[in-house]
Amino acid sequence: MSEAFDESLTDLERNQRILEQRARALAQPLTHQDETPAVLYLMFRLAFETFGIESRFVREVVPLKALTPLPCVPAFVAGLMNVRGQVLSVIDLRQYLGLPEGGLSDLNKVIVLSHDEMEFGVLADAVLETDAARELQPPLAAPSGLRQEYFLGITRDGVLLLDGQKLLCDGRIVVNQGME
């Protein structure tokens, strides 16, 4: 009986050592060296899809008011709008990205995007919220016909994340045509 007692004492000591090692390991501060930083993005609805664009490119969101159409511009240019005394071009991403067309209403919003010297607004059916994404899937599951070169990827929640820098630096958006 004394051997069994000594054996269980050894088990107790071993368990105590294991628990002490675990406690020391858990007491260490967490390090996230391999973790990628989260991308903060603004989510919005457009043509029954949910899109996102990095918050660093979003200057503000304003209601759609007094959009002035322009002649002799590409179909994706919805018109001009006055935002706090500044006249901005407003782009219809439906046209630009190849999404199904939809009408405008008083519920539409304009997301004002800005990067370096380029600034313009994009139409949105609704602005939802901001969120953060750490992992993006490749944009393989984007709706067919969509211009996929403007997407960074898709979040776990199915939000199509637009490449704001590529969109803002795209030369197609700058219209330099004169009237003939």
The pLDDT value recorded for residue 4 is 47
pLDDT tens sequence across 82-123: 999 999 999 998 888 887 776 666 568 999 999 988 899 999
Q: Which of 70, 97, 75, 71 is nearest to 161 (CA)?
A: 97
DSSP reduced 3-state for 34: coil
Q: Which of 80, 165, 64, 69 is nearest to 123 (CA)?
A: 64
The pLDDT value recorded for residue 158 is 86
The pLDDT value recorded for residue 143 is 55
The pLDDT value recorded for residue 138 is 75
* C-alpha to C-alpha distance for 120 and 89, rounded to whole angstroms: 5
The pLDDT value recorded for residue 75 is 87
Residue 145, C-beta contacts closer than 8 angstroms, at least 6 positions apart: 98
Amino acid at 177: Q
- Residues of the chain short of pLDDT 70, as ranges, are 1-9, 30-36, 102-107, 139-147, 175-180
* C-alpha to C-alpha distance for 5 and 111, rounded to whole angstroms: 74
Confidence (pTM): 0.72
Residue 60, C-beta contacts closer than 8 angstroms, at least 6 positions apart: 83, 112
